[in-house]
Chain A
């Protein structure tokens, strides 16, 4: 393997990758369709995008407030749409290299759903009662 040999904690691993074969992680890469993606890196990026979308939607839904289970569906469609749009249109990656649409869209889905519900319920309960 081209990477380092010993300890493999995340940060160290990223540093090793920066010194090694994978290009250094930059924010410009997030929007660059030419960039090459590691499976782990792409998964992490998609995970965090989903969490941010979940948190923002939760705060927004709670502040408005939106009421009704239909808004959970709206959130799921919106967040999956953002993820799909991100990897298919902005990054233009071939999803087959990363395990298909299912794997990519599943990344961080449950965590973001619970985060979204938590933010929504908290803001709704605290701000409107």
Chain B
């Protein structure tokens, strides 16, 4: 296996992908232990799901013409926002642990593959992306890809899909799931 892999010039890329797949599973495992299996998360989640469904039906089925209905919608909206804020607060703790793990793994990968092109890009990236894709690399060949860019691509694609697959993705019904809610132009 090892000899087969070393036959490739860019076999390091497979190592980066493998490590980030393992990291993604590890992070989801940590998040599961710290939040997703707790009853407070489950109840918050069901509250949000219910409230967003209710809001949706209220908005589509009944025309919000009467004042009482508008008030009711407002109330549901506020409670929805409060619940999603609580949800993101409860995620903070595991978020910190996950960030620490990601940081350590990134440091490990950095020490393993520093200054080494791990892959060849089939395109020349725009200059903003080049900063990441050519990070720490010698030479002017912009199609050389550094570990950082590959790791970034892996972590986004694998983590998003893994979360989606396991059902841990943030609920759709809570548009302002962030800690700093922004006004949503669609609801107003």
- Give residues in A with beta carbon < 8 Å to B: 1, 3, 5-11, 13, 39-40, 43-44, 47, 51, 61-62, 65-69, 71-72, 97, 99, 110-112, 114-115, 117-118, 120-122, 124-126, 128-129
Contacts and interface: CB of A to CB of B under 8 A. Distances in A.
Interface in B163-188: 164, 166-167, 172, 186
B164 to A, nearest CB: 6
A123 to B, nearest CB: 9
B54 to A, nearest CB: 7
Interface string B48-69: 0110011010001000000000
B122 A39 contact: no
B156 A114 contact: yes
Nearest to A99: B186
A111 B160 contact: yes
A8 B83 CA distance: 15
Interface of B: 8-11, 13-14, 17, 42, 45-46, 49-50, 53-54, 56, 60, 119-126, 145, 150, 152-154, 156-157, 160-161, 164, 166-167, 172, 186
A99 B184 CA distance: 13
Contacts of B17: 118, 122
A1 B10 CA distance: 54
Given A126-B10, A129-B10, A10 B153 contact: no
A117 B153 contact: yes
Given A6-B46, A65-B122, A99-B186, A121 B161 contact: no
Nearest to B143: A67
A116 to B, nearest CB: 8
B14 A115 contact: no
A20 to B, nearest CB: 12
Contact of A69 (B49, B60, B124): B124
Contacts of B152: 114
A121 B160 CA distance: 19
A68 B122 contact: yes
B49 A125 contact: no
A120 B145 CA distance: 13
Contact of B122 (A13, A47, A114, A124): A124
Given A44-B164, A51-B161, A110-B156, A71 B123 contact: yes
B172 to A, nearest CB: 6
A8 B46 contact: yes
A7 B42 contact: yes
B120 A124 contact: yes
Given A111-B157, A111-B161, A129-B10, A69 B167 contact: no
